[in-house]
């Protein structure tokens, strides 16, 4: 069974600074996808970034980037130039594609507060 661990229940960062959220996972699969989702106070789940395990290059989306270490089974999210709107719960998730019987596995989440 796949598991996802986020060891930081809460974090805070000053506006405009950089913060890194940690995520580790456990799987015996070789082909999978990793995601970071943001859940603001509205509780709508918003996709932040996606990484395909077979791609060595780290995914980047504007101020968001990941450090994907496949051998270490680590998938951290770096937020640069933090903004007040980044305040939210952040969930790391794992998914095996083309297997409709298996869903995403979510980590417990990290609550990020961006301070003015």
Partner 1 sequence: GAVVSQHPSWVICKSGTSVKIECRSLDFQATTMFWYRQFPKQSLMLMATSNEGSKATYEQGVEKDKFLINHASLTLSTLTVTSAHPEDSSFYICSARDPKAPYEQYFGPGTRLTVT
Q: Do you know the residue count of the chain?
A: 116
d(CA 6, CA 21): 8
Interface stretch with partner 1, choices 12-20, 21-29, 42-50, 61-69 (CB under 8 A): 42-50
Per CB under 8 A, 62 contacts partner 1: no
Contacting partner 1 within 90-109 (CB under 8 A): 91, 95, 97-98, 100-101, 103-104, 106-109
End-to-end C-alpha distance for the chain, whole angstroms: 41
- Residue 80 C-beta: closest distance to partner 1, Å: 24
């Amino acid at each position: 069974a796949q598991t996802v661990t986020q060891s930081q229940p809460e974090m805070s960062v000053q506006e405009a600074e950089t913060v890194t959220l940690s995520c580790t996972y456990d799987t015996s699969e070789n082909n999978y996808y990793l995601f970071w989702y943001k859940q603001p106070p509205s509780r709508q789940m918003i996709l932040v970034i996606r990484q395909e395990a077979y791609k060595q290059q780290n995914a980047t989306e504007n101020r968001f980037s990941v450090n994907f270490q496949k051998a270490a089974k680590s998938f951290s999210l770096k937020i640069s130039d933090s903004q007040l709107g980044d305040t939210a719960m952040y969930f790391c998730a794992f998914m095996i594609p083309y297997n409709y019987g298996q869903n995403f596995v979510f980590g417990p989440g990290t609550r990020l507060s961006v301070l003015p």
